[in-house]
Chains A and B, each alone.
Chain A
Amino acid sequence: MLLAVVSLCLGIVLGSGALSTSATETPAPTPTPTSDFTNTLTINGVLRDGDNLVEGAEITVAGGSGFEETATTDDTGRWAVVVPEKGEYTVTLDPDTLPDGVELRDPDKATSTVAADEWLTNTLTRSFPLGADTRQTTGFFEQFLQRLAAGLNFGLLIALAAIGITLIFGTTGLNNFAHGEMVTFGAIVAWIFAVLLGLNIFIAMVIALVLGGVFGYLNDWLLWRPLRRKGVKLVQAMIVSIGLAIALRYFYLMNIGGDTKTMSVGLSDAVVLGPVRITTGSLLSMVISVVVLLLVGLFLTRTRIGKATRAVSDNPSLAAASGIDVDRIIRIVWVIAGALAALAGVMLALYRQVSWDMGFQVLLLMFAAVTLGGLGSAYGALVGSIVVGLFVELSTLFIPPDLKYAAALVVLIVVLLVRPQGILGRKERIG
C-alpha cells in the first residue's frame, strides 16, 4: 500500500520519460534473474577533425554471420550501429565520404576490429583519428595531476550523497540500501527536464534538488516513520531498504529502459588549468559540491536545527528529553538526504551518463566512504569520500581500470582491519 503511493508519485515524475522513450527491443529475459537482459548492443563513436565535428561520413560494421550495416555521422559527428550479438566485427570508415580537406591521420587505419572478448559493456566505441596529430604525450606527473583532479571531483560527488547516508544512520540507525536509488532519481529527473523537455541544466538541477527533497520526505512519511512506530528492528529495516531498492531499480528500468542516456547539455568544453584538462561540467560540479558541503557544515554547526540533528545523532532519548522533536529532526534529515542525493545524481549524470542502475553502482562506494570515515560522522563521510574518490582514480595509474572500484573496496576492508571504527569514528560504535 505504502509502495503503491510511492510508485504513483514516482510515476507522475517519470511519466513523461516513459512516454517519450520507447522500450528497447531486447530478447526475452532468461529465467535467471540476475542475467543481463537489457542488452541492446551498440558500436558507436564520434568523428572529429581537431575541434570540428565531421558530418556525413559513412562507417560500415560487418560481422561474421553475414551482418553488415552502414551508419552515417550526424551533425554532431556521432554514429552508432546496433549489432545482434557480442561477437567479432570489423568497423570500416569509407575515406571517400569524408569532407574535402579531411583525411585519415594514418591512411592504413581505416579499419578497426572488435574482438568478442571486448564486450564488457553493451556499448563499444571506435574512433578514427583524423587530421594531423595535435595530442601531447603526457608524462607520469601530468597524468597523476589529471587523475588527482578527477578523483577529487568524484570524491566530492560521493560525499554529497554519503553525507545523507551518514545523517540517516546517525539519527535513525538505518543503513539505507535504497540511497543509490535516490541518486538515480535525481539523475533521471534532471535528464527528463534538461534533455527531454529541453530546459536549462541549472533549472533542471534545481528541480531535481527540490523533487529529491520531496522524494526523501515521502520515503520517511510513507515508509520509515510507520516502521519506526511499529518498532521494526534495525536489521529488519535494513532488509526492507534492500527490498525498496530492488523495487525502485526495476521500476526505473521499466520506465526508462536499459540503455545509457547522455546528458548532452553543452558542458563538455575542456578548460585547461595548468597541466590539467577538465571539462566545464566537472569544474562546475566541483564548485557546487564544495559550496553545498560548506552549507551543510554550517547548517550542522551553526543553526538550531543542525545542532538538534547532532544531538539526536548522539543520543535520541536524551535529545527527546531535552525537548527536541526527534521525529521532526528525522523528517528534516530525510529531506536533506534526498535533496543531496538527487544533486549528486545530477552531477554523476554530468560526469558520466544516466542509466537505471547508476546509483546502485556507486552505492557501495558511498558505503565504503561512510564506513571509512566512521559511521554516523558527517565529517568522516567527507574525508572517507575524498579518500575513496582519489583512490578510485589514482589506482588506475597502477592497475587495470576495470579493477578501480575493487581497489577502493579493498581499502575499506584493510582500514576496518586496522581501525574498525573508521578514520573519524568513535570507538564506542564497534561492537
Chain B
Amino acid sequence: MDWGNIFGNAVGELISPTTAAYALAAIGLGIHFGYTGLLNFGQAAFLLIGAYGFAIPTLAGAPLVVAVLCAILCSVIFAFILGIPTLRLRADYLAIVTIAAAEVVRYVVTTTGLTDFTGAANGLSGFKGTFAAINPIPQGTYGFGPFTYSAYDWWVRIVGWVIVILASVLVFLLMRSPWGRVVKGIREDEDAVRSLGKNVYSYKMQSLVLGGVLGSVAGIIFILPRAVQPANYTTGLTFFIWTIMLLGGAATIFGPIIGSMIFWVVLSLTQGILYGAIESGAIGFLSTTQAGQVRFILVGVALMLLVIFRPQGIFGNKKELSFSV
C-alpha cells in the first residue's frame, strides 16, 4: 500500500476547490439553519443556479463580472420564489417544499427540450476562459509535495478560499450586529420576536437570500475545476452539505470550513485505504466499486451518530442548539 500517495491525496483535499465550494455552501446553509432556524433542504438548487447562472452567460460571451452577477441575481430571484410560499409555513413543510423545489430545478435543466441552453443531461463545459484570462500567476507548475498544482489550479484555489474567508468574516460581523441578534431570536422563539414588533417574515427572507447567494457563489467555485453536470445536483449534494455543516457546528464561524475539510480528507483517506487494501488482497470480499459505496454508507452512519450524540457539532455551543422543534 502506497501510504505516501494516500496521505498526499488526503492532504491535498484540505485546500481543494471542491472543499472550498462545500465549505461556502455550508456557510450559506449555516445562515439558514444554524442562525435563523430555516430547514432548507434545497441548498443544491442554489449551487445549481450559481453554476448554470454563471456558465450560460459566459458561453454566450458575457464578461466574467456580468456572469457572476447574473448567477447571484438568479439565486436572489430563486430565493424569493422559494421563500414567498414557504416561509410562513411550519418548519417541516419548509423542508419538503425546498427539497421539492430543488428537484424541480434539476428536472428543468435536465430536460431535453432545453438542450440548447443547458446541454440537458450532458451539462455544459468550456466556460473557464474568462476566469482563466484574469489569472495573474504566470504559466507553470508551483508548490511542493502534495501541493503541486498548475497556475490555473492555484488560481482557482486562491480565489475560492479568499471568498470562503470573506464570507466567514461577513457572517461573523453580521451575527454580532443587531440584524444577527434578531435572526437568532427568530430561531429561538419566533413569536417573541414578533411581539417585539419585528417583521419575522422579512428577516427570514433576507436570511434565505443571503445564504442562497453564498450557495450560488459556491456553485461557481464548484464548477471552475470541472464541467457542469446536472447529475451532481441531486438531493444527495444537499445532504452532504448538511453533514458538513452539522459536523463542524451549525451556528459557528469555523464549523463549516473545518467540517468540509474533515469530510473530504476522511473520504479521500477511506477511499485510499480501502483501495489499497483491496489491491494488496487484504480485503477479499469487496470490489473497488463497492469500496467507493462503503464510504457513503459511512457518511450516512456518521450523520446519524453526529445528530444523535453531538448535535452541536465539533465547535458548537450546547446552549446554541438549533434543534428547537
Contacts and interface: CB of A to CB of B under 8 A. Distances in A.
Q: Do A and B bind each other?
A: yes
B299 A36 contact: no
Q: Name, among A24, A232, A406, A410, the residue most crowded by chain B CB atoms within 10 Å (CB to CB).
A: A406
B242 A400 contact: no
A246 interface: yes
Interface stretch (B124-132, B201-209, B230-238): B230-238
Nearest to A370: B96
A113 B310 CA distance: 55
B97 A413 contact: yes
Nearest to B9: A31
Nearest to B263: A33
B287 A409 contact: no
A33 B308 contact: no
A175 B115 contact: no
Nearest to A258: B289
A120 B307 contact: no
A34 B234 contact: yes
B85 A246 contact: no
Contacts of A119: 121-122
B96 A23 contact: no
A247 interface: yes
Q: Name, among A38, A116, A243, A248, the residue most crowded by chain B CB atoms within 10 Å (CB to CB).
A: A243
Nearest to A406: B107
Interface in B27-83: 39
A244 B304 contact: yes
Contacts of B303: 239-240, 242-243, 246
A188 to B, nearest CB: 15
Contacts of B198: none
Given A35-B232, A403-B107, A240 B308 contact: yes
B235 to A, nearest CB: 8
Interface in A396-417: 400, 402-403, 405-406, 409-410, 412-414, 416-417
A402 B112 contact: yes
Contact of B122 (A36, A38, A116, A367): A116
A412 to B, nearest CB: 6
Given A400-B113, A403-B108, A34 B232 contact: yes
B191 to A, nearest CB: 10
Helix, strand, loop or mixed for chain A's interface?
A: helix
Interface in A1-40: 3, 23-26, 28-29, 31-38
User: Which of the four size classes fits the interface of chain A?
Assistant: 35 or more
A117 B115 contact: yes
Interface in A170-204: 175
A368 interface: yes
A3 B304 contact: yes
Nearest to A371: B96
A155 interface: no
A290 interface: no
Interface stretch (B86-94, B154-162, B254-262): B86-94
Contacts of A320: none
B323 A117 contact: no
Interface string B264-282: 1001100100010000000
Contacts of A243: 243, 300-307
Contacts of B264: 31
A238 B322 CA distance: 13
B300 A248 contact: yes
A412 B101 CA distance: 9
A431 interface: yes
User: Which of the four size classes fits the interface of chain B?
Assistant: 35 or more
A85 to B, nearest CB: 12
Interface stretch (B139-147, B167-175, B290-298): B290-298
Contacts of A364: 99-100, 103, 235
B297 A34 contact: no
Contacts of B302: 243
Q: Name, among B89, B268, B322, the residue most crowded by chain A CB atoms within 10 Å (CB to CB).
A: B89
Contacts of A405: 103, 107
A328 interface: no
A34 B299 CA distance: 12
B304 A23 contact: no
B289 A238 contact: no
Nearest to B92: A175
Contacts of B13: 31
Given A3-B301, A403-B108, A409-B103, A416 B293 contact: no
A37 B292 contact: yes
Nearest to B85: A417
Contact of B88 (A3, A227, A230, A420): A420
Contact of B300 (A24, A86, A244, A371): A244
A385 B238 CA distance: 26
B317 interface: no
B325 interface: yes
Given A235-B39, A242-B242, A37 B112 contact: no
A254 interface: yes
A403 B112 CA distance: 9
A301 B300 CA distance: 38
A426 interface: no
Given A33-B296, A420-B88, A238 B95 contact: yes
A315 interface: no
B104 interface: yes
B135 interface: no
Given A250-B300, A367-B96, A409-B100, A26 B289 contact: yes
B304 A120 contact: no
Nearest to A28: B288
Contacts of A242: 239, 242, 303
Interface of B: 13, 18, 39, 84-86, 88-93, 95-97, 99-101, 103-104, 107-108, 110-113, 115, 119-122, 226, 229, 231-237, 239-240, 242-243, 246, 264, 267-268, 271, 275, 287-290, 292-294, 296-297, 299-308, 311, 322-325
Interface of A: 3, 23-26, 28-29, 31-38, 86, 116-117, 119-120, 175, 227, 230, 232-236, 238-240, 242-251, 253-254, 364, 367-368, 371, 375, 400, 402-403, 405-406, 409-410, 412-414, 416-417, 420, 429-431
Given A33-B267, A235-B91, 20 more contacts: A34-B236, A35-B232, A227-B308, A233-B324, A235-B322, A235-B325, A238-B92, A239-B303, A243-B300, A243-B302, A244-B300, A254-B290, A364-B99, A400-B111, A409-B101, A412-B96, A413-B97, A416-B93, A420-B93, A431-B90
10 contacts: A33-B236, A35-B229, A234-B92, A238-B92, A243-B243, A243-B300, A246-B236, A364-B103, A367-B100, A413-B85
